[in-house]
Structure 1
Amino acid sequence: MAAKRGLGRGLDDFLDAHDTDLPFLSAYGSADEKALSGLPPSASTDDPQDLFQALVRFLKSEKANIEVKDNIGKCEKWLKLDVVADGVQATLACVNLPLVPSDLMSPGMQAGKLSKNNSSASVIFTSWGVDVRRLLSRINEHQKRL
């Protein structure tokens, strides 16, 4: 009977061999390593000030007309961003918002509320992610069509 073949290399060897092949990862900075008690690390929150700046940069990249003054960002009359203790409070006001209540319950969001006639909504963004980016992009596109 043939002997079992062991693994030739371990994870450390693999990482050492590929360390120089992944220098772009340093551009993202070091991992925060801290998580809220009782929650997995993926459920942690971002610093509200950093999150606010990321939201503003994203909206500018989407060609949204955003004005910032004293930790408050406004996009004409359809969006107001306000830094709060838990994150960034977003207040949306627009005719026929293309949203359903579950859109405001995605990861990175909390306390989402949508009016019955879909003319206004509010949500607190707690961390930056794909769902937050998609929501803002969708609302911005909807606003441009009006």
Structure 2
Amino acid sequence: MSRTDRAGRVIAAPPATVYDALLDRDSLEAWLPPEGMRGQIQRWDPRPGGGFRMVLTYLDPADSPGKTSEATDVVDITFADLTPPQRVVQQAVFEADDPSYAGTMTMTWHLVGTDDGTEVTVVATHMPPGIDQAAHEAGIASSLANLAAYVETTR
């Protein structure tokens, strides 16, 4: 059975501003890594069918061993669909020897304008079984909080 993870929040910025932060290399490096991690983009091609490769490094790997190495998660992302300013669909594959992290996870970022800004909902499907649901949803929520802080202070 395929599992679905999700998280959402309202961000005090218009949908176009949020959408732009989803497709800007420097922005993604700043806000996408959840709390306790930092990220570096190694490859960047922001178009449908393009994507990026990100190395996420744990600041304290003792509490959260990485999927790729003791201290890192390396993920290759393909932009499966870009519908400005409403939706970004990413397909993610983790670089890992452990087969419990194998497979292509789909992350869909839905952006809906509201009176208060943009309601952002992230839905992740086809989750590899090695990824803990509660930890993943907390990570998505952390990234959304970072995104909110980033766009609300830079606009």
* Larger Cα-atom Rg: 1
More helix by share: 1
Structure number with greater CO (CA < 8 Å, separation at least 6) is: 2
- TM-score class, shorter: 0.3 to 0.5
TM-score norm. by structure 2 comes to 0.34
Say which structure is richer in strand.
2
Normalising by structure 1, we get a TM-score of 0.35
